[in-house]
Chains A and B, each alone.
Chain A
Amino acid sequence: MKVLYFWPLALLALVPVIIFMYLLKQKSEKKEVPSLFLWRETYHNIEANTPWEKLKKNWLMILQIIIFCVLIFALMSPFLAGCGRNSDHVVVVVDNSASMNAIHDGENTRLDKAISEASDYVKNLRIGTGISLITSNDEAVLMISSSEDRDEVIKKIKEIKPTMHAGNAAPGVEMVKTMQSQWPSVTTVCFTDSNVSMEDVDGYIVDVYKEKENVGINYLSHGTSGDKLVILAKITNYGEKETAKEVTLYGDGKILTSQSVSLAPGESKIVYFDKVNFLGSVLKAELNGNDSLMEDNVCYDILSDNRVVNVLLMTEKNAYIEKALELMEGISVTKSNDIASFDSFVNQKYDLYIFDCMMPEHFPQDGNVIIFDAPNKDLYSAKGMIDSALVKALPTPVTQYIENMDFGAANVTAYYTPSWAEPFLVADTEEGTMDVAFSGEKEGQMITVFGFDVHNSELPLKMEFPLLMYNLVNANVSTGMLTQNVINSGDGIQINGKADKILPIVTTPSGEEIGLSDYRMIFTKTDDLGVYEVTQSEDRINGEKEYFAVNFPSSESFVEEVPSQTEDSNTSVKKNASADLDLKNIIIGIILALMVAEWIAYLRK
């Protein structure tokens, strides 16, 4: 048996006060005896015990002292120690993954239950226990480390928000494993609905899982059939009862169609919507009715033209260009040095061809082209050769942000810039300024030409080189800002803004506008389910808009292995954190019984 508090022991100092008051209260009855002859000897015999003898038979006082002591004991919050309360340090791991949003009891979710249990657990911890708090879903977050302020920890626990992220308490337990060496004794208590292995961790799981009926949409997808859409949705019944649901399909918020589906326990079905006439962007499927997890009753899909840009790089060996292309998201680079078989590549219809010091026999008729130091009499003509030159950038869209760049280059070909093109690099020579690189559109085909081999220049060594390549690729092909349109909550999504426009802005389903700090970054604030809008423009009104949808992670609709089913001998599972026997109520019962006894004794006296 353990106690939580020791301060009530100080109240024991009041026990002598009770005794003293009783001694004061005591009145001796005067009795005349024939002689003290025998009594005096009796008195001497018991003299050593006199202070206690005086108190003997004073049942009321003894009862009151007992009641007082028991009350002190109750204030010490005794309990039969279970797991954890003896440790100097306790780590509370609260699973706030998407599955914790399922209803546990009444209106309360599993997370509500976990927060309630965790708060009670922390409240009952011994004073001086160091408490750390970790939330865990797809990743663990240390919210508080080694705090002895239980109120602060409880406040933080109550501030834990549900997430729609896939995951469980495992990342939290992993974090504990890395942290626990700093404490001499540590107990970990995981409040979760999913089983996690507690191997190498001293602690237990508080199981907040409760079996409830749930039907969810696993995914929503679309294809085309002529000019119509074919849409499919996968529906799964996770419950133990047969159920019928209505699946309603929305297009940009308007009802398109609906279908009924009947599902046996554990059954999954694909629901098809044929020949849907919809030209908008956002598709949404929704199940009718309520179940334990409402979040997985809605699923989104986005209709988008965005696709990966395919680039063909024809080069003997040019690590500079390859590296610069690798840095760009949304493009797929194919490399070849076999210019002879170029025609076979052309059939695959690349979006962009890059010829590095080589030129095919047949110039591609579609797709855009970037040429490094290769002649093409049909398209442009050389003005002359420059052995070495200082090349400077001209202010054009291609050289945006790098207008002040200059570098040295050797064996540079100067060109007569065609009428359809605009020079963006020039070289200063004795004969004047000569164009050494130009870019322009000829018959719907963007063509960019460099008059030097990058190996013979300082350009790859300049920090502006990747940006120049990025600008060129963007000028030649349109990649779109998004490479994905549907993700799960908590996943990041790459947003590739155009460098020639203002920074992209993401509008969340709740209407919050989040300005990105960079043109290209992984956007991770995908906690809310729904459709996000990404905009980028110069005036931010008529700009480019793209959408991506954040869906509930279907893996969270159903808990594969609940804690109570664990067969892991290292993992102890409890139904509630306060499973330790709290003796306070029992002791209060004893106090009441003693008070009744005192009352009876008083009446009899």
Chain B
Amino acid sequence: MEQAFNSEFYSRLRTLRMSIALSNAAGMSGSRKSKAKGNSVEFSDFREYMLGDDIRRIDWNAYGRFDKLFIKLFMEEKEGLFHVILDASKSMDYGEKNKAVAAKRLAGALSYIVLENGDRLFLDIMKDGGMTSHRGMTGMQAFRKTIEILDNTPFDGGGDFLTSLKHGNFKQHGMSFFLSDGYADNMEEVFKYLRFCHQEVVFFHILSPEEIDPVYEGNIQMVDCETGADIRMNMSGSVIRNYKKLYEEFILHTESICKKHSVVYIPITSDASVDSLLYGSLSKLATNN
């Protein structure tokens, strides 16, 4: 398998600066402007004094002009809580341009952006219905650890996303980056659950070129790499055409359920270059911002 975090990745990463919108930061105090009014130095608004307000925040200049007591409101700065949820099932370890590599790079880049913005990163790795959560990482010093974790994550086992997510820590409002090939009947349930957990969800749908445009010929025994189940098919033109039709329907369906549950849908092809991954795919994220 190609090395996910190579020199090209790091050289591009240094130039990656991106702010990711998060509507309601709910973490600890941090650098992210919260919609909540707080104690930061950044002025936000005025309002009339109400009983119980801290009199230190009365704007006396305004009182002098308007003969009314006004309270100065300041932005409260809090940490953003970001979950990078990585599907580490065996199905992700597929393709000449491996989906796992693309997923790792994407997860690494997202982690970098989150940590670089001073937000808190939760790295959740799903596998076999379970979830390994590396929680609460902040600061760029945590980036090295994140890369280590990602680099050492094996892609094997099965994938039951909903069960896995239920093991996760989504108690606070945050944003979840869901990186998967999305081969599950219950993707809608998955998104519903994440939205229920006050998560703004971005789904990075990672597929390999072999899945998008299969080039099989002859009599093929296809074995599901996760379950070991198999079917035999003779790869005629009609079979391939049928598959492609189903693939298109699958993408449209996934996109539609994303839209339905306000999930940002970003399709990724595993043969995308590092540039394309970091600037192309993530720029969509910025656009959404």
Smallest Cβ distance from B118 to chain A, in angstroms? 36
Q: How far is the CA of A34 from the CA of B183 in the complex (A)?
A: 9
Identify whether the interface residues of A are mostly helix, strand, loop, or mixed.
mixed
Identify whether the interface residues of B are mostly helix, strand, loop, or mixed.
mixed
Per-residue CB contact flags for chain B residues 175-196 toward chain A (1 = under 8 Å, else 0) read 0000001011000000000000
Q: Does B6 contact A (CB under 8 A)?
A: no
Residues in B neighbouring A30, C-beta threshold 8 A = 220-221, 223
Q: Does B92 contact A (CB under 8 A)?
A: yes
Q: How far is the CA of A198 from the CA of B268 in the complex (A)?
A: 87
Residues in A neighbouring B208, C-beta threshold 8 A = 34
- Among B94, B229, B234, point to the contact of A53 (Cβ < 8 A): B234
Supposing A33-B94, A38-B247, A39-B231 touch, asked if A45 and B242 sit within 8 A by C-beta, the answer is: yes
Report yes or no: A40 in contact with B231, Cβ–Cβ below 8 A. Answer: yes
Supposing A34-B94, A38-B250, A39-B231 touch, asked if A29 and B220 sit within 8 A by C-beta, the answer is: yes
Q: Which residue of B lies closest to A30 (CB)?
A: B221
Residues in A neighbouring B247, C-beta threshold 8 A = 38
Q: How far is the CA of A49 from the CA of B237 in the complex (A)?
A: 13
When A and B form their complex, what is the total count of cross-chain residue pairs whose Cβ atoms lie within 8 Å? Answer: 100
Q: Does B219 contact A (CB under 8 A)?
A: yes
Residues in A neighbouring B227, C-beta threshold 8 A = 36
- Among A34, A40, A46, point to the contact of B211 (Cβ < 8 A): A34
Interface size class of B (residues with CB under 8 A): 35 or more
Q: Does B289 contact A (CB under 8 A)?
A: no
Q: Which residue of A lies closest to B238 (CB)?
A: A46
Q: Does B224 contact A (CB under 8 A)?
A: yes
Residues in A neighbouring B237, C-beta threshold 8 A = 56
Q: Which residue of B lies closest to A53 (CB)?
A: B234
Q: Does A43 contact B (CB under 8 A)?
A: yes
Q: Does A28 contact B (CB under 8 A)?
A: yes
Report yes or no: B218 in contact with A29, Cβ–Cβ below 8 A. Answer: yes
Report yes or no: B232 in contact with A31, Cβ–Cβ below 8 A. Answer: no
Report yes or no: B221 in contact with A29, Cβ–Cβ below 8 A. Answer: yes
Q: Does B55 contact A (CB under 8 A)?
A: no
Interface size class of A (residues with CB under 8 A): 20 to 34
Report yes or no: B222 in contact with A57, Cβ–Cβ below 8 A. Answer: no
Report yes or no: A33 in contact with B242, Cβ–Cβ below 8 A. Answer: no
Supposing A26-B219, A28-B221, A35-B91 touch, asked if A42 and B242 sit within 8 A by C-beta, the answer is: yes
Report yes or no: A34 in contact with B92, Cβ–Cβ below 8 A. Answer: yes
Supposing A28-B220, A53-B239 touch, asked if A34 and B233 sit within 8 A by C-beta, the answer is: no
Report yes or no: B220 in contact with A31, Cβ–Cβ below 8 A. Answer: yes
Q: Does A159 contact B (CB under 8 A)?
A: no
Residues in A neighbouring B225, C-beta threshold 8 A = 32-35
Supposing A29-B221, A30-B221, A32-B223 touch, asked if A37 and B183 sit within 8 A by C-beta, the answer is: yes
Q: Does A27 contact B (CB under 8 A)?
A: yes
Residues facing A in B222-274 (CB within 8 A) are 222-227, 229-239, 242-243, 246-247, 250
Report yes or no: B243 in contact with A56, Cβ–Cβ below 8 A. Answer: no
Q: Does B217 contact A (CB under 8 A)?
A: yes
Report yes or no: A31 in contact with B216, Cβ–Cβ below 8 A. Answer: yes
Report yes or no: B220 in contact with A42, Cβ–Cβ below 8 A. Answer: no
Supposing A43-B231, A56-B234 touch, asked if A35 and B181 sit within 8 A by C-beta, the answer is: yes
Q: Does A430 contact B (CB under 8 A)?
A: no
Q: How far is the CA of A35 from the CA of B225 in the complex (A)?
A: 7
Q: Does B99 contact A (CB under 8 A)?
A: yes
Q: How far is the CA of A53 from the CA of B242 in the complex (A)?
A: 13
Report yes or no: A34 in contact with B99, Cβ–Cβ below 8 A. Answer: yes
Q: How far is the CA of A33 from the CA of B208 in the complex (A)?
A: 11
Residues in B neighbouring A28, C-beta threshold 8 A = 218-221, 232
Residues in A neighbouring B231, C-beta threshold 8 A = 36, 39-40, 43
Q: How far is the CA of A35 from the CA of B231 in the complex (A)?
A: 11
Report yes or no: A35 in contact with B183, Cβ–Cβ below 8 A. Answer: yes
Q: How far is the CA of A53 from the CA of B240 in the complex (A)?
A: 12
Q: Which residue of B lies closest to A41 (CB)?
A: B246
Residues facing B in A527-582 (CB within 8 A) are none
Counting chain A CB atoms within 10 Å of each CB, the highest count among B90, B92, B233, B250 belongs to: B233
Q: How far is the CA of A29 from the CA of B90 in the complex (A)?
A: 21
Q: Does A323 contact B (CB under 8 A)?
A: no
Residues in A neighbouring B233, C-beta threshold 8 A = 39, 42-43, 46, 53
Residues in B neighbouring A362, C-beta threshold 8 A = none
Q: How far is the CA of A29 from the CA of B230 in the complex (A)?
A: 12
Q: Which residue of A lies closest to B221 (CB)?
A: A28
Report yes or no: A54 in contact with B211, Cβ–Cβ below 8 A. Answer: no
Residues in B neighbouring A39, C-beta threshold 8 A = 222, 231, 233, 243
Supposing A34-B99, A35-B91, A36-B229 touch, asked if A53 and B236 sit within 8 A by C-beta, the answer is: yes
Smallest Cβ distance from B214 to chain A, in angstroms? 9
Report yes or no: A31 in contact with B183, Cβ–Cβ below 8 A. Answer: no
- Among B219, B221, B242, point to the contact of A54 (Cβ < 8 A): B219
Residues facing B in A39-68 (CB within 8 A) are 39-43, 45-46, 49-50, 53-57
Supposing A34-B183, A42-B246 touch, asked if A54 and B223 sit within 8 A by C-beta, the answer is: no
Counting chain B CB atoms within 10 Å of each CB, the highest count among A27, A38, A45 belongs to: A38
**Given A36-B224, A42-B239; 4 other pairs, CB 8 A cutoff:** A34-B211, A35-B226, A39-B243, A42-B233
Interface on A for B, CB 8 Å cutoff? Answer: 26-43, 45-46, 49-50, 53-57
5 contacts between A and B (CB under 8 A): A26-B219, A34-B224, A40-B231, A42-B233, A55-B234
